[in-house]
Amino acid sequence: MRSTGALFLLSVCALTAYYIYSPIPDNIEQRWKLMITDCFFRSLSHLADFSELLGLTDYMDVMMFITFLERVVPVSDERVKVAEEHFDGVEVVVYEPRQDRGTGEMKRAIIYLHGGGWCLGSSKMGPYDLLSRQMVTELNAVVVSVEYRLAPPYHFPVPFEDVYRVVKYFLQPDVLDRYEVDPERVAVSGDSAGGNLAAAVTQQLQLEPNQHVKLKAQALIYPALQALDLNTPSYQQNQHMPILPRTLMVRFWSEYFTSDKSFLTTMLTNNHNSAESIALLKFVNWSVFLPEPYRRAYNYSTLSISTDKTSLSLADPRASPLLVPDAVLRRLPKTYILTSEYDVLRDDGMMYVTRLRLAGVDVTHEHYEEGFHGTIMFTLWPTEFEVARRIVDNYLLWLKENL
């Protein structure tokens, strides 16, 4: 009896160790902590898969647990005034320096878009709440953190349109005036899917003929920028990396466009392009736009048109901002792009850096050799990481100097 128990315990330990263990590159700091954190994410993902397989709930409903776990009630404190409001019908959380309005001092403003693959996340998660407060206190800025609607059920273009409505509403002179914001010092920023939305709204706003107040800057933190080629070198190199394995990123893209699960299967094989999107592949050609060291070990193969029915939104630059021609890029404001080495989205960011620079845009590129996807979410106990603190500090410093 005792030996059976011991054997059982041993097997559980072996299984747990096997399960926790994921190969993590040597230059990532706090590797064990990342392994355990990732173990939690992977367990949840397996549970989500299983529950979808049994027909109990949708995959994303289970993954939403992460959002609920980190949810806080944003409240005012002695330095920051917080209010939940609606801008043109879209929910936002506004963070302002706690000082009397009417002192005449004009402030900067940042419209912030949270990450989570257009399916998860909330501006009311602890790490985003903390980041917004830091922006208020360190930059003397007003922060508008947008609670855009999520897929499923709100597929593209709903999340984009929600954000766009907020940006246009906020940039009206009387609204800026109400918040004592300097119209010349407004930026849009976001991480991951939020970086995608930030890049998309910045482009679309430049195309509006009657938009008088312009954005001063865009700051994109490991943004997703294209859905045409899901086999760039970074997608290949990092397909099993913690937090955002390739399968999850592809699932986010697929869910952004449709609830049709067969589209996910097609996207996973990277054979999902329509005739329309194939014509735009030249804008995401990594063999042209990636710096040589990153493409060296990989062979470029041209993609073909899918025989399955594909999503028309694939060719829409509001979903894939890398798809605009240079003429649109040329009009963009000063840009900050952060990329991480161990991230499937690394090459999306790198290609945008190259294309923007070729178009003459002022770009600051910060690449973290020791970074992984989702780092800025890891600023709070028990999952705080040193690299996250450095990243946030440098990001805030850039905003301080450029906004």
Ligand X SMILES: *[C@@H]1O[C@H](CO)[C@@H](O)[C@H](O)[C@H]1NC(C)=O
Catalytic (active-site) positions: 192, 343, 373
From the list 8-16, 138-146, 196-204, 291-299, the region that binds ligand X by CB under 6 A is 291-299
| In the complex, minimum distance from the CB of residue 225 to ligand X, in angstroms, rounded to a whole number | 17
Give the number of other Cβ atoms within 10 Å of residue 390's Cβ.
Answer: 16
154 or 298: CB nearest ligand X: 298
Start-to-end CA distance of the chain, whole Å, equals 69
According to the binding rule CB under 6 A, does residue 4 interact with ligand X? no
| In the complex, minimum distance from the CB of residue 287 to ligand X, in angstroms, rounded to a whole number | 4
Site of tokens 């700091």: 29
According to the binding rule CB under 6 A, does residue 281 interact with ligand X? yes
CA–CA distance, 47 with 126 (Å, rounded to integer): 24
According to the binding rule CB under 6 A, does residue 302 interact with ligand X? yes
4 or 299: CB nearest ligand X: 299
According to the binding rule CB under 6 A, does residue 298 interact with ligand X? yes
According to the binding rule CB under 6 A, does residue 287 interact with ligand X? yes
According to the binding rule CB under 6 A, does residue 285 interact with ligand X? yes
| In the complex, minimum distance from the CB of residue 321 to ligand X, in angstroms, rounded to a whole number | 18
Q: Are 337 and 362 a contacting pair, CB within 8 Å?
A: no
Q: Render 323-391 in DSSP notation, one character per residue.
A: GS-HHHHTT--EEEEEEEEE-TTHHHHHHHHHHHHHTT--EEEEEEEEEETTGGG--STTS--HHHHHH
212 or 296: CB nearest ligand X: 296
Question: 95: helix, coil or strand?
Answer: strand
From the list 9-17, 180-188, 261-269, 282-290, the region that binds ligand X by CB under 6 A is 282-290
Q: What angle do CA 355, 359, 361 make, to 5 degrees?
A: 95
Task: Rule CB under 6 A: choose which of 52, 300, 305, 366 binds ligand X.
Answer: 300
Query: Under 8 Å CB-to-CB from 20, ≥6 apart: which residues?
Result: 35, 36, 39
Name residues contacting ligand X, limited to 69-88 (CB under 6 A). Answer: none
Number of residues engaging ligand X in binding (CB under 6 A): 10
| In the complex, minimum distance from the CB of residue 288 to ligand X, in angstroms, rounded to a whole number | 5
Amino acid, res. 322: L
CA distances from 114 to 10, 104, 181 (A): 42, 30, 22
154 or 300: CB nearest ligand X: 300
Task: Rule CB under 6 A: choose which of 46, 71, 178, 282 binds ligand X.
Answer: 282
| In the complex, minimum distance from the CB of residue 241 to ligand X, in angstroms, rounded to a whole number | 18
Tally: H helices and E strands in the chain = 16, 8
| In the complex, minimum distance from the CB of residue 242 to ligand X, in angstroms, rounded to a whole number | 23
From the list 281-289, 315-323, 342-350, 366-374, the region that binds ligand X by CB under 6 A is 281-289
According to the binding rule CB under 6 A, does residue 275 interact with ligand X? no
36 or 275: CB nearest ligand X: 275
Structure tokens that stand for 105 in this block: 């001092």
Backbone angles phi, psi at 227, to 5 degrees: -115, 15
Binding site for ligand X (CB under 6 A): 281-282, 285, 287-288, 297-300, 302
